Amino acid sequence: MISGSRADTKALGTAIGSRLRGGEAIFLYGEFGTGKTVLTKGIAEALGIPEGEVTSPSYTLVQSYRGRLVLIHVDLYRLNNEAEITELALDEFQRPDTVLVLEWAQHWPHPTITPDIRIELTHQGGDSRRITIQPEIADV
């Protein structure tokens, strides 16, 4: 699909978030500025987490938010090696009441957590983004 604005990207996240039941791992792929955190804000909103609470975890690496499910928001961009990523102990967040959203998933080296939903965001010029979701989600 093509998103023409931040609002479109957030709305897509809201649609995805409304379908989540817990236990899902969502892997986000994309360069700087493609809308990974905006998409996550939409997911959070659908989980009952106010948009203003959700920020990019670029420096904290892991953010946790409580709504109807717990949202664990992770950013792997600044991590340089597998040991640093392993120290995050993300396996501990795989619970039925939790949704894991992993930004910069291309840095994820472990097969212990695999994505239930894989989303790739790509610049298309201006505010336009191509967003590819695997597996495809009906009615999104």
The reported pLDDT for the residue numbered 136 is 64
The reported pLDDT for the residue numbered 85 is 63
User: What's the CATH code of the domain at 108?
Assistant: 3.40.50.300
Whether 139 shows a pLDDT value over 60: the answer reads no
pLDDT tens for each residue of 59-92: 667 888 999 999 999 888 766 666 666 666 677 7
Q: How far apart are CA 21 and CA 125, in angstroms?
A: 34
In which domain, by residue range, is 93 found?
2-121
Q: Is the pTM of this model over 0.85?
A: yes
Better pLDDT: 80 or 129: 129
Q: Is residue 91 situated within a structural domain?
A: yes
The whole-number average pLDDT for the span 102-129 is 86
Q: Is residue 127 situated within a structural domain?
A: no
Q: Is residue 139 situated within a structural domain?
A: no
Whether 16 shows a pLDDT value over 80: the answer reads yes
Q: Is residue 12 situated within a structural domain?
A: yes
Domain total in the chain: 1
Q: Is residue 76 situated within a structural domain?
A: yes
Closest CA to 116 of 132, 100, 131: 100
The reported pLDDT for the residue numbered 86 is 64
Q: Is residue 133 situated within a structural domain?
A: no
